[in-house]
Amino acid sequence: MKYIKWFEDLRIEDVPLVGGKNASLGEMINALTSKGILIPSGFATTADAYWLHLRENNLEDLIKNDLLKVDKKNVETLKEIGARIRKVIIDAPFPKKLSDEIVEAYKEIKERYKNSTFAVRSSATAEDLPEASFAGQQETFLNIRDEKNLLIACKKALASLFTDRAISYRIDHGFDHMKVALSVGVQQMVRSDKASSGVIFTLDTETGFKNVVLINSSYGIGESVVAGLVNPDEFYVHKETLKKGFRPMLKKHMGAKKTKIIYSDDNEKPTKTVDVSEQEQKQFSLNDDEILKLAKQALMIEEYYSEKKDQWTPMDVEWAKDGIDGKLYIVQARPETVHSRKKETVLEEYILQEKGEVIIKGKAIGRKISSGIARVIETARDMHQLKEGEILVTDMTDPDWEPIMKHAAGIVTNRGGRTCHAAIVSREIGIPAIVGTSNATSLIKTGEEVTIDCSNGEGGFIYKGQMKFEVKKTVLKEIPKISTKIMMNVANPDEAFGFALLPNDGVGLARLEFIINNSVYVHPMALVHPERVEDKDVLAKIEDLTFGYEDKKEFFIDKLAQETGTIAAAFYPKPVIVRFSDFKSNEYKKLLGGEFFEPEESNPMIGFRGASRYYHEKYEEAFALECLAMKKIREEMGLDNVKLMIPFVRTVEEAKTVIQEMAKYGLKQGENGLSVIMMCELPSNVILIEEFSKVFDGFSIGSNDLTQTTLAIDRDSDLVAPLFDERNAAVKKMMEMAIKGANKCSRPIGICGQAPSDYPEIAKFLIDCGIDSISLNPDTVLKTILALAS
C-alpha cells in the first residue's frame, strides 16, 4: 500500500513520513516488545496521504491564503479562520485510493485484534525539523468501531492540523504552515475504561530532578488525566534503587478521581463521563506491583531513547491498564520538552517577602511566584476576555485555551494534576500555575488582586492581594568549592527534589516529627491501641485517614517510610541523617488521639522527650513503628544512604539501651553499613564525649538545645528569651570541647542546629575548631558557602 505504513514497519527516522507520535510507536514496537513492554499495534497514514487529500481537492491555495489573514492576537479572527479551514478539509471527499487503503488496513487489523475498538490519533510532522511532533496540538478520537466512523475520524484528524491552538503554536515557533503535514495513527484500544490509565514522566515535572519516575493514574480512559478532568493519584519511584532490584515506592498521593471516561454505545458520542463510586475514590487506582512495573517500563523506554540520542532523554509516556486481561500497556511515548531543553547554569530562587490571607491551596506547578488581577473564565467561549498579565482562573483548560494562555501571568484551575494540560502548558511557557484547587472559581472573584506562590514545594498557595517577592539568581558555576562539608537541614519531603539541586554534601538533619505532623497526623500509639481512644469523632477521623489498611500500624510505617524515603532518594547516594522523633509531650498531644497517651508536664522542654521515650512503656511500641519504617527505607527501598540519629540522650547507659531497642526491630548498628549518630546537645554529652564515642558512630551538635541546657533557658519561655544566644561564650566553649573530643576519638562531628544558618561567624568559628560538616537551612546554603569561601 502506498499511503499506509504498519507500525511494525516504522522507525524513529520516519518522523518526516508519519510524524513523531507514530514514528515513536513503531520504534518502540520494534525495539522494546522483546523486552516485555506491551504496545498496542496499528497503522499510520503517511504525509503523502495528507498532501494527496489537499491537492486532489484543490485546497492548498485556499488554506494558504486564509492563513495569511491570521492575526494571532485576535482570537476571534483566529477562531473563524481555523473553523473555515477545518470545514473544507472535512467536507472534501477522500481520494478513493486513500480511502480504499484505509479500509483495507482496517479490515486487516480488525481481523488481527478481534472484538477490539480503535483510537484514531493525529501525528504532525515538519519536513524541515524532524524533532517537531507538536504534542497535544491535534485531536484524538476514541472507541471507533466501524469503517464509516473510521473514515470520518481520519478526516477530522487531518483537519485538526488547523485547530486554533495548532495554528497559534506554529506561528509562535516559526513553522511554515504549508511545510507541516499530518499523519493519522489507527491503534488498537486497551480496555482502560474497565480499569485505569494515565501518564508517566521520567523526571520530577516541577524541578527537573532526574532520579525519579512520576506516575499519574486515574480510573477509565486516559483522556481524563491528560485533559485535567480529574485530580489523579500520584506516585513517585526512585530510579537508582529500582535498577538494583529494590521496591523504592516513594510518595503516594491519593487523588479525588471523582469521574471517569468509559465507552458508550453511541457512535456519534463513542465515550461518556460517569461518576466514580466513593469506595473507589478512597482507593488507589494502581497497586504497588503495578506502579513498580510501570516505572521499570518507563525507565527502559528512557534508557533506550537516551542511548539512541547519545544524551539523557527524559520521557513523557502514556499508559493504560486493560480491565479484561489485567495487563499494562504503553500506548504512546515522546521526549519531555521542558526540563530536557534547559541549561541549568543559573539558579533562580523566588522568595515571598510577606504573607497575607490564603484564599485557597492546590498543587504547585513550577517554582515561581506571580501576582496580578484575577480573571475568572468559566468556558473557552469567553477566553478572549483575558487581558495581558492577568491571572487566569478557570475550572480546567484543554488545548483550545492555548492561544490565550501565554498572555496570563499565572493559571489557577479547579481540576487537574501535575500532568494535566494546564500544568504542561504553564511549564512550557514559564509561568506558575496552581491546579486541583477544587473550587477556585467560587472563591476568587474577577478583578481581585491575587498572588500565586509556587515557591515552597508541591503545595501552592493563592493569597489575597499582591504580595512582595524577590527573585535571587545565582550562577552555579561560580559557586566556589570549600573543604568543609556543607549539608542541609531538610524537613519537608515536598521540597527535597528542588533542594537536592543546590551544592551540597547530603542531609545533616531530616526530622521525623515534622513528617509525622504534616503527613501522618495520627499519634502512633492511637494506631497501636485504638481501644484507648475514647473520642468517637477522633476514631472516625483516624479510620478515614487509614482507609484500606486492616492493620492501622502499617499506615504509619508506610507513610513515614514513603515521605522520609523521598528525602533519602533526593540526595542518594549522599548521606541522609534521619533523626528519630523529638516531639515534646505537649506537641505529641496535638496529634490525632494524642491526648489519650501523653502525660501532663510542667516543663516538656526538659521532660519526656528524645531517647528516654524510645524504651519507655508509654512509647516503646510507637518507637517500634519508627524503627520498622526506617528498616523499610534501607532494606525494601534500598536507600542505604540513611543514617539514624538519636536526640536528647542523657546518659551513656540510656544510649546503650536505645541501641538495643533498635536492634530488636532489625536496625543493627554496623549491619548493612548502618551508622548511628548522636545529637550532641546536653552538657553530659560534651563532658562524656569519649564515653559516648564508644557507643555511637558520630555526632551532630544541636546548638538550640545545647544553648538551652548550657544556659538553663527554657526555649518556650518569653520571659528569658532575650538571654538565648548561641554565640554566648559558654555555648561556644561547649561546642569547641565537643569537636575536640570527637576528633580525639576519631569520630566525625557536624552541626545541624540553627546557629550557623543564622550567624556566619559561628560557621567560621566551628570550621576553625575543626568541625567536619555544617548542616544549614536550604535558604542559607549559597550565602554561607560564599561567606566561608571569602
What is the rounded end-to-end Cα distance, in angstroms, of the chain? Answer: 71
26 CB-contact burial (10 Å; exposed 0-12 / middle 13-18 / buried 19+): buried
Strand pairing report for 369-376 and 249-253? unpaired
Of 101, 114, 82, nearest to 43 by C-alpha is 101
In angstroms, what is the C-alpha Rg of the chain? 29
Known catalytic membership, residue 421: yes
The three cell numbers of residue 238 are: 526512585
Structural contact between residues 676 and 646, judged by C-beta atoms closer than 8 angstroms: yes
The answer to whether the beta carbons of residues 220 and 239 sit under 8 Å apart is no
> Reduced to 3 states, what is the DSSP secondary structure of residue 261?
strand
Spatial distance between the Cα atoms of 370 and 609, rounded to a whole number of angstroms: 42
Q: Is 318 helix (H, G, I), strand (E, B) or coil?
A: strand
- With a CB cutoff of 8 Å and minimum separation 6, the contacts of 313 are 302, 305, 306, 335, 340
Give yes or no for a contact between 320 and 199, defined as CB atoms under 8 angstroms apart: no
Retrieve residue 130's grid coordinates.
Answer: 524532524
Question: What backbone torsions phi and psi does residue 543 show, to the nearest 5 degrees?
Answer: -60, -40
Going by C-alpha positions, the residue among 419, 422, 433, 428 that lies closest to residue 462 is 433
What element of type H or E holds 249? strand 249-253
Query: Which CA distances in Å does 415 have to 225, 260, 411, 491, 681?
Result: 10, 13, 12, 28, 47
Amino acid at 78: L
Instruction: Identify the three-state secondary structure at position 472.
Output: strand
Catalytic residue among 420, 421, 454, 680: 421
Question: Do strands 4-6 and 42-45 pair parallel, antiparallel, or not at all (unpaired)?
Answer: antiparallel
What span, in angstroms and rounded, lies between the C-alpha atoms of 258 and 231? 8
Place of cell 523529638: 582
Q: Is 529 a catalytic residue?
A: no
Lookup result for grid cell 515534622: 514
Query: Exactly one of 154, 420, 627, 752 is catalytic; which is it?
Result: 752
How far apart CA 35 and CA 573 sit, in angstroms, is: 28
> Active-site positions?
421, 752
